[in-house]
Structure 1
Amino acid sequence: MAAAVLIFLLCLTAGALTVRCEDPYLYYTWNVTYGTLSPLGIPQQVILINGQFPGPTINSTTNNNVVVNVFNNLDEPFLLTWNGIQHRKNSWQDGVLGTMCPIAPGTNYTYRFQVKDQIGTYMYYPTTGLHRAAGGFGGLNVHSRIVIPVPYAQPEDDFYVLINDWYGKSHSELRKMLDSGRTLARPQGVLINGKSGKPDGKGEPLFTLKSGKTYKFRICNVGLRTSLNFRIQGHTMKLVEMEGSHVVQNVYQSLDVHIGQCFAVLVTADQTPKDYYMVASSRFLKGSPLISTAIIRYADGQGVPASPELPKAPVGWAWSLNQFRTLRWNLTASAARPNPQGSYHYGEINITRTFKFANSASKVDGKLRYAINGVSHTNPATPPKFAEYYGIPEKVFKYDVMGVEAAAKISKVSIETNVLNVTFHDFVEIIFENRENTMQSWHLDGYSFFAVAIEPGTWTPEKRKNYNLQDGVSRHTIQVFPKSWAAILLTFDNAGMWNIRSEMRERAYLGQELYVSVYSPRRSLKEEYNLPDNAPLCGVVANLPKPEPYNA
């Protein structure tokens, strides 16, 4: 932090001399390996990064350049995505199979991206196969610059809490299940920072607190398919930020954290000095909830154990829907820049185009597939973005194989590469319509969107009168409850090819995802970067000469 401040002051001074300074660089070298751990008490294979499970936390500051050299020491191709990082003009670093060739076993790839004009709580995780079921995930902080005030006092410390469902089988076994046409079904447990704890008073504390001090807890659900409720015994949580946006600071007893979502809360150590449990428990699963605990300890608690009586989780998804309705953008707080983050009046912009996406589950040739509007995505050997950049998309995929108005009934599912062509700078409305009896969670790479509504039933144009057009939170992931719909608004102003996917890995692996090609015909570096020189090539472009680079 001190080095970054020094660089900032030097650049500020040099400004009068017209000397240009780059934003600071952060360098990481990560070795991805297999290891053996016992998250549920039984030894099993996990994925480690530099020997850690979960992986290391990236601590960056707005506008930092992040350089991560990833060495793949697994026996399979591997990719990481930086969930929620917008990668302005740079879908090449997104870490998904539509825009990158995977890192082959025994090789390395260096990701380079800038956390441009962002703050907040994010995460990273694998996108290849079912690797996420084995680990390889971690936290990614983007702190505010010291010259930009945040709407709360500096906390005593900052903790990451990664919560997730967990299976006792290896990622390769789980993948075989999906490939054979079966579902993953119910997970076997829940983890908090890689461990499954029981309220037995045993174990070392995960965090130690000083009485009277306030701490920031960054809570992210990095799981495969299960929404989780998080709470802290005897304490309330003041929500201050979620997925890159400061929010109205409501106080909660517990929070439902859906797959792919992150919350930052302030917790004050204002209770009797002793141990307390953090609790993560499954939501919307049939049968008894899965529960895990971890200990927080007051430094002056003299080892007094936590009470075995755990706070109860809410029941039903109506409670979770009401929680969504309490989430509001803080319109007076600065974000990554000095101007208030609510100064962008998204509710006053005319909608250019509406997309309606309906998820479905069905059998194709006797095997389970998930689809969007009747199209189940499959990844070709050549990333569609590469084919587009090389000017040969017709050799790899067809644009717009999927209709953007969900049919009243999806009776037939086709397996195809699903890429939509969208117009650069269009302001669009996307409706996620969930016709199933299961929870859904959707994520959009490369963008933040405005989450303006979630309601039961079927969407119609008349529902727009219920949209929150004033202070809907700018975020990148949204849940959709059973037999319900969700609406988001955004401007497609980030050139590249970007993934829209189910955050439930089973569903994305079996086809519930698509790509949007946000193409700028100017082919200018002002709007999109060139293919990186170090990018591995694959498929039909592997032996082709690189196209002429974009001009400045």
Structure 2
Amino acid sequence: MACIVIAVLVCLSVAVVRAEDPYLFFTWNVTYGTISPLGVSQQGILINGEFPGPNINSTTNNNIVVNVHNNLDQPFLITWHGVQQRKNSWQDGTPGTNCPIPPGKNYTYHFQVKDQIGSYFYYPTTAMHRAAGGFGGLRINSRLLIPVPYADPEDDYTVLIGDWYSKSHTQLKSFLDGGRALGRPDGVLINGKSSKSKDNDKPIFTMKPGKTYKYRICNVGLKNSLNFRIQGHKMKLVEMEGSHTVQNIYESLDAHVGQCYGVLVTADQPPKDYYMVASTRFTKSVLTTTAVIGYTTGKDPASPDIPEAPVGWAWSLNQFRSFRWNLTASAARPNPQGSYHYGDINITRTIKLVNSASRSNGKLRYAINGVSHVDPDTPLKLAEYYEAPDKVFKYDIIPDSPPETDVATVTMEPNVANLTHRTYIEIIFENHEKSVQSYHLSGYSFFAVGIEPGKWTPEKRKNYNLLDAVSRHTIQVFPKTWAAIMTSFDNCGMWNLRSEAIERRYLGQQMYLSVISPERSLRDEYNIPDNALLCGVVKDLPKPPPYTI
């Protein structure tokens, strides 16, 4: 009998040990350092001495713990772009959710990559730090027990592309603070290097003949859409921002700011070097850069004949329409992606958001529905949690549908929409400007159901893709067009909806969506972390009673 009891206790202890998902621990030292991505020395932001920063390689349900030491002379925050942070906007790393890490101090992020797979990245959200570095790749691999709809690749490579300025982040910030636009970038980078970088003729990746490799391509840039292609090779799209896709073949892909793709590339060409190419789209003067991929058995250099990028935004729109959700593939769960019939859910609220550019007191500002967001000294999430929002912001200062005429002036204040928990909401982005917009929603994936020229009306719903639109987190809006997304707001927290163009975000083209747990229950949202930094009006307030089960 005693042996049986001991055996049962051993089994129970093993079950308890296995009950918690694995932890990954990282210590990051954020410093300034000299970098020369465009062949000119400038001040960059390094993580553990690296530019770009180190990759995070995780698996579904892993707990990620990152202790960030801020050795800069300015406050600093990092956001985990595309990681949904279920019930945990405390770790989102935006000025609306977190007090920045003071110079010389540290903060430990702790979040779980729960029920996700795919290609993501991280970057700074304070000031103009993103223009100096501090970004890196973040991948979430599928658990072994969940099948992936393609064979394991020979290797897995992260490709971070983006436009870049040779001026320092402090100079760029002074331009914006002074009412000026940033103007044209100076170049394009691939993994922190350009064609002007030292040793750029050496391969950054290698491939064995006949083998297939996965490339995770993310536009981590500052304002421009980019076209990516690989000389002499086709790309099979298999994943996009956390969703398995129908596996179409592409010669090139348009990646708008903040977007990520996972593609398979087979080394099926004569063994030699080949160029990866990234170039700006929708710009008068096209900026292009290259990086080398080498075959392990080849020594010949890459051909100087660079494949050309497509022209016009109509091509890009047609490519968007070719993207489809793989309905039969499992996601981070055993059930197929297509088991969630998003097109059959009744819409409970429609919000139309119109971006605009204007001037306030002679200075350039960007706005959504006439409001240019300003980050208060107290993060919005903290003010809400401490039940002091009236001291910091007001809810719903913009209408769900703005006037048909463009707003000539803007109001500068915190922009927060109050959304009811578990409602199914349609958001329309309407772009009246001549530039391509790119919007990201933190804390969620949404279904990108349509993009069309002109202005949106309810009749446009008949053209929605209600069957296999890709579930993703960042959507482009072409000039004089609209884009529609739909999602269920079931993730409580304070979530940032922002332009991914850095000058637009910095100058107000963003807002926050508040989804409050009506029952103040841990089933809906985690309590404030014990190590949370406090600032602003809540710094000396007593902590509210914690949420309970």
| TM score, norm. by length of structure 2 | 0.97
Alignment correspondent of 2:181: 183
- The aligned counterpart of 1:435 is 432
Q: Deviation at 1:19? A: 6.7
Q: Which moved more, 1:19-28 or 1:336-345?
A: 19-28
How far residue 18 of structure 1 moved from its aligned partner, in angstroms, is 7.0
Contact 1:201 1:306 (C-alpha < 8 Å) held by counterparts = no
Cα distance change of structure 1 residues 315 and 358 upon mapping to structure 2, 3 Å threshold: same
In structure 2, the partner of 1:426 is 423
Shift of 1:14: 5.5
Match of 2:521 in 1: 524
Find out whether 1:543 has 2:540 as its counterpart. Answer: yes
SS of 1:177's equivalent in the other structure is: helix
AA aligned to 2:390 is: E
CA contact (8 A) 1:238 1:250 kept: yes
User: Structure 2: how far apart are the matches of 1:396 and 1:118?
Assistant: 34
Partner Cα separation in structure 2 for residue 16 and residue 348 of structure 1: 43
Calculate the aligned-residue CA RMSD, in Å. 1.5
Matched letter for residue 322 of structure 1: N
Q: Which runs of 5+ in 2 are unaligned?
A: 1-9
CA distance in 2, matches of 1:534, 1:242: 34
2:424 is matched by which residue type in structure 1? F
Corresponding residue SS for 1:452 = strand
Trace 1:124-163 onto structure 2 (pairs within 5 A): 124-163=122-161
Change (3 A) 1:446 1:13: farther
Runs of 4+ in structure 1 off by over 4 angstroms are: 12-20, 198-202
Contact 2:146 2:333 in 1 (8 A): yes
Specify which of 389, 397, 413 is matched with residue 416 of structure 1: 413
CA-CA distance at 1:203 after TM superposition: 2.0
Asked whether 1:450 is paired with 2:466, we answer no
Write the distance in 2 (CA, Å) between the matches of 1:393 and 1:242: 37
- Please show how residues 155-304 of structure 1 align to structure 2 within 5 Å: 155-197=153-195, 203-287=201-285, 289-301=286-298, 303-304=299-300
Secondary structure, counterpart of 1:350 in structure 2: coil
Mapping 1:344-423, distance limit 5 Å: 344-409=340-405, 410-423=407-420
Aligned equivalents of 1:543, 1:84: Cα separation in 2:
33
Match of 2:108, SS? Answer: strand
Q: Per-residue CA shift, 1:201-259, capped at 9, x if unaligned?
A: 96211101100000000000000100000000000000000100000000000000000
Going from structure 1 to structure 2, the CA distance change for 1:57 and 1:200 (only over 3 Å counts) comes to: closer
SS of 2:276's equivalent in the other structure is strand
Q: 1:360·1:374 contact (CA, 8 Å) conserved in 2?
A: yes
Task: Work out whether 1:310 is the aligned partner of 2:306.
Answer: yes
CA distance in 2, matches of 1:58, 1:185: 33
- The 8 Å contact of residues 199 and 277 in structure 1, kept in 2 or not, is answered as no
- Structure 1 counterpart of 2:474: 477
Q: Secondary structure at the match of 1:451?
A: strand
Q: Is the 8 A contact 2:59 2:140 kept in 1?
A: yes
Residues 201 and 305 in structure 1, CA contact (< 8 A), matched pair in contact too: no
Structure 1: gaps spanning 5 or more residues: 1-11
Q: Deviations over 1:52-109 (max 9, x none)?
A: 0000000000000000000000010000000000000000000001110000100000
Q: Secondary structure at the match of 2:459?
A: helix
How far does the alpha carbon of each residue in 1:423-468 deviate from its partner, in whole angstroms, 9 at most, with x for none?
0001000000000000100000000000000111110000000000
Matched residues, percent identical? Answer: 70
2:60 — aligned with what?
A: 62
SS of the aligned residue for 2:213 comes to strand
Give 2:425's aligned amino acid: V
Write out per-residue CA displacement over residues 142-194 of structure 1, whole angstroms, 9 at most, x where no aligned residue.
00001111000000000000000000100000000000000001000000000
Structure 2 distance, partners of 1:266, 1:130, is: 34
Structure-2 change in CA distance of 1:136 and 1:514 (3 Å): same
Q: What corresponds to 2:7 in structure 1?
A: none
Q: Is the 8 A contact 2:200 2:291 kept in 1?
A: no
Structure 2: how far apart are the matches of 1:403 and 1:420? 9
Q: Structure 1 residues 546 and 18, CA, compared in 2 at 3 Å: closer, same or farther?
A: closer
Q: Deviations over 1:366-417 (max 9, x none)?
A: 0000000000000000011111101111011111111120211213210011
Cα displacement (A) at 1:28: 0.2
1:340–1:304 Cα change, 3 Å: same
Residue 8 of structure 1 corresponds to: none
SS of the residue 2:151 aligns to: coil
User: Aligned-pair distance for 1:16?
Assistant: 9.1
* Alignment-derived partner of residue 98 in structure 1: 96
- For these two proteins, the number of residue pairs brought into alignment is 539
1:284-326 CA-to-partner distances (Å, cap 9, x unmatched) read: 1122x1010000000100x201100000000000000000000
Q: 1:81 to 1:551 in 2, by over 3 A?
A: same
TM-score by length of 1: 0.96
Give the counterpart letter for 2:342 in structure 1.
Y
Do the aligned partners of 1:199 and 1:308 also contact (CA within 8 Å) in 2? no
Distance 2:364 2:157 in 1: 39
Once residues 130 and 318 of structure 2 are traced to their aligned partners in structure 1, the CA distance between those partners, rounded to angstroms, is: 30
The residue aligned with 1:3 is: none
Contact 1:201 1:308 in 2 (8 A): no
The amino acid of 2:455's aligned partner reads T
- Rounded to whole Å, the distance in 2 between the matches of 1:501 and 1:18 is 41
Compared CA separation, residues 401 and 469, structure 1 to 2 (3 A): same
Distance, in Å, in 2 between the alignment partners of 1:199 and 1:191 is: 9
Aligned partners of 2:502 and 2:520: how far apart in 1?
A: 34
Native 8 Å contact 1:205 1:297 kept in 2? yes
Would the aligned equivalents of 1:495 and 1:519 in 2 still touch at CA under 8 Å?
A: yes
| Conserved 8 A contact 2:35-2:44 | yes
Aligned partner of 2:4 in structure 1 is none
Structure-2 change in CA distance of 1:198 and 1:274 (3 Å): farther
Q: Alpha-carbon deviation of 1:24?
A: 0.2
1:335 aligns with 2:331: yes
Equivalent pair of 2:89/2:494 in contact (CA under 8 Å): yes
Cα distance in 1 for partners of 2:477, 2:17 equals 50
Deviation at 1:199, TM superposition (A): 12
The question of whether the paired residues in 2 share the 8 Å contact of 1:199 and 1:293 is answered with no
Letter in structure 2 aligned against 1:416? E
Counterpart of 2:19 in 1: which secondary structure?
coil
Give the letter aligned to residue 58 of structure 2.
S
Secondary structure at the aligned position of 1:323 is classed as helix
Alpha-carbon distance in structure 1 between the residues aligned to 2:305 and 2:196: 11
Q: Give the Cα separation in 1 of the matches to 2:306 and 2:254.
A: 16
